[in-house]
Amino acid sequence: MDMAASSSFTMLLGWSVLLLAVHIGLQGITATLELGSAWNAGPRDAEKKPEGKFAGRAARASGNFRETYPAFVGLALALAMSGDPTGWGLTGAWLWLVCRLVYIPLYLAGIPYIRSLVWVGSLIGLLVMTAVLIF
């Protein structure tokens, strides 16, 4: 096992958890700004959801992140354990992380097309990681 590659993947996993925390924080803050702190602190039994653009975008961006996040975690752990002799797996992991980071402000700002292109970039990162494991 290549320890340098392994530690690079574990470092990226750590950064990805911070990115998850950013998504959760943005979603929570924007919803609280719209619905109030009493709603946030309460049990939320009424299923009330924010209706504003910004809070909705934050929630959708977070949901979109969470759709690919399990795949990233699994691929990064598999590559950390099995090795990445070509370095392509690490390149794919960095591509996924950078694209997912860039995606947030693009989504919050409502920028079409470029946002979709960045999302495709993150998917390519996952596919590169997958290819290293398969081939």
pLDDT for position 15: 97
Percent of the residues in the chain that have a pLDDT greater than 90, as a whole number? 79
pLDDT for position 124: 98
92 alpha-carbon distance from chain centroid: 14
pLDDT for position 1: 55
Averaged pLDDT score across all residues of the chain: 93
Sole residue written with tokens 């099995």: 82
Q: What is the CATH number of the domain that holds 65?
A: 1.20.120.550
pLDDT for position 44: 80
Q: State the pTM of this model.
A: 0.90
Distance CA 122, CA 35 (A): 32
Mean pLDDT of 111-133: 97
Distance CA 93, CA 7 (A): 13
DSSP-assigned letter for residue 44: -
pLDDT for position 5: 61
Q: How many structural domains are present in the chain?
A: 1
pLDDT for position 3: 66
pLDDT digits (tens, 9 = 90+) for 30-80: 999 999 998 888 888 877 888 899 999 999 999 999 999 999 999 999 999
Task: Please measure the distance between the N-terminal and C-terminal CA atoms of the chain and give it in whole angstroms.
Answer: 17
Sole residue written with tokens 């530690």: 7
Instruction: Write out the residue range of the structural domain in which residue 61 sits.
Output: 3-134
Confidence of residue 93 (pLDDT cuts 50, 70, 90): very high
